[in-house]
Amino acid sequence: MRRRALTGIMRGRMSTPVDSTEPIERARAHRVHDVVIVGAGPAGSSLATLLAQRGVDVVVLEKEHFPRFHIGESLLPAGCVLHERLGLEPDPDVFVWKGGAEFRCEATGRRQVFRFDEALPGPPRSAWQVERATFDTALRDCAVRAGAVVRHGEKVRGVAIDGDRARVTTDSGEVHARYLVDATGQDRLLARKARAVVPYKRFGKAAVFTHFDGLSRDALDEIGPGNEIRVLVRPGGWGWAIPLPGARLSVGIVTQAQGVDEGLFDAAFADSPIVRAWTAGAERRETRVVRNFSYKNSAPHGARYAAIGDAACFLDPVFSSGVALAMIAAEQLALRLVPALAAGTEADPALAAGVSAHLERGYATFGSLIDRFYNSRFADTVFLSDSEDSLMRRGVVSLLGGDAWRDDNPFQDMLLRARRRPAPGEAAAS
């Protein structure tokens, strides 16, 4: 995109977290890109592709070298709908076709399968389970093919917004752009600097997970052909089993307990017949722990910047909504940023307000669902029981597919109408 001459509108410093590392006069000599994106996960790479496809001069700074491990392997139809526009062609030998989600309580033997083809009319009827190392590399390649510059090994250490540009500092120097996007995921670059991280206290607190390689033929037969994500409902939390390409299985446990370590994995799955049977004879890889992943960024946008994906908000892994919401946020921001850059109005602090407003419907819906999953009998009554109301059930399936932006879903209406009010003295979200 041809850059308009820098007019110096809004020359005063913004109230963004600022680490000024270089005198402004020296900085003026830099080339000014249209957009700098920090982070090449699904949010950053999707946005880079959508912008570059429209002629925007975009540079992405990513601290890691790809491929690299990342958690978040079960995708939803509402995010997959974007793949074609991004130029991503899922290869069924590299991604595992996913037909839906199964909820199962091993203690009672109750289980329910929700197939995406039962959903209300709309997005695709299936999704994928992916190794994020492969998926994120493929998304990054889409961005490069579209014309974005992606620089790996570039950890952003400082950001500053001056009147007419954003300045981003890495160990190798500075990058200047008319607009800055924080897509740093759980690192939440801007939210941390602005002390704008607001934790959600009623969701999962920690996850412990690993991969198993070399599943047996019997296990693969039992897991297929729908390859549903298995959500194992347990007291105080839940577990997942996600089939991955190459006869692999991702298994994890999420708990509301504090202070857990790798040992939780063995404790939780010692009594799980399904995990023991499916992983018999398979080789267990490294066990990892993540904690305190649920929060929102209370300052997700401002003059010349926006945060998208996990850098703006992450709720909880239970409904696999993270990647879909990150990609939808990228799409929403691209819609607003392209015309603003063309018109030279990208400094408008409200530019990304519509992105936050749009995403709020998804966060509110999933937030209400997740709160009930952990803090009420919902898992029992909705996810482990047969529904007699087929429209309600189709509504549940639509949400399990990430389709939270329709106005004919009675289940979603119920969730949003009856968003749980905190009990006296209790903070619902934070």
State the residues that interact with ligand FAD by CB under 6 A: 38-44, 61-64, 70-75, 155-156, 183-187, 189, 207, 290, 293, 309-311, 314, 317, 320, 322-324, 326
State the Cα–Cα distance between residues 131 and 122, nearest whole angstrom. 26
| β-pair partners for 160 | 167
Query: For residue 203, which of 415, 370, 369, 320 has the smallest C-alpha distance?
Result: 370
How many C-beta atoms surround the C-beta of residue 74 within 10 A? Answer: 26
Residue placing its CB nearer to ligand FAD in the complex, 73 or 162: 73
| β-pair partners for 167 | 160, 176
Return all residues near 377 (Cβ < 8 A) that are at least 6 apart. Answer: none
Residue placing its CB nearer to ligand FAD in the complex, 320 or 368: 320
Residue placing its CB nearer to ligand FAD in the complex, 150 or 303: 150
CB of 63 to ligand FAD, least distance (A): 4
CB of 230 to ligand FAD, least distance (A): 12
CB of 297 to ligand FAD, least distance (A): 11
CB of 286 to ligand FAD, least distance (A): 14
Residue placing its CB nearer to ligand FAD in the complex, 105 or 206: 206
CB of 108 to ligand FAD, least distance (A): 24
CB of 104 to ligand FAD, least distance (A): 16
Return all residues near 221 (Cβ < 8 A) that are at least 6 apart. Answer: none
What string of DSSP letters covers 305-335?
Answer: EEE-GGGTEE--GGG--HHHHHHHHHHHHHH
State the Cα–Cα distance between residues 157 and 171, nearest whole angstrom. 8
Residue placing its CB nearer to ligand FAD in the complex, 323 or 341: 323
Helix (H, G, I), strand (E, B) or coil at 142: helix
Residue placing its CB nearer to ligand FAD in the complex, 325 or 338: 325
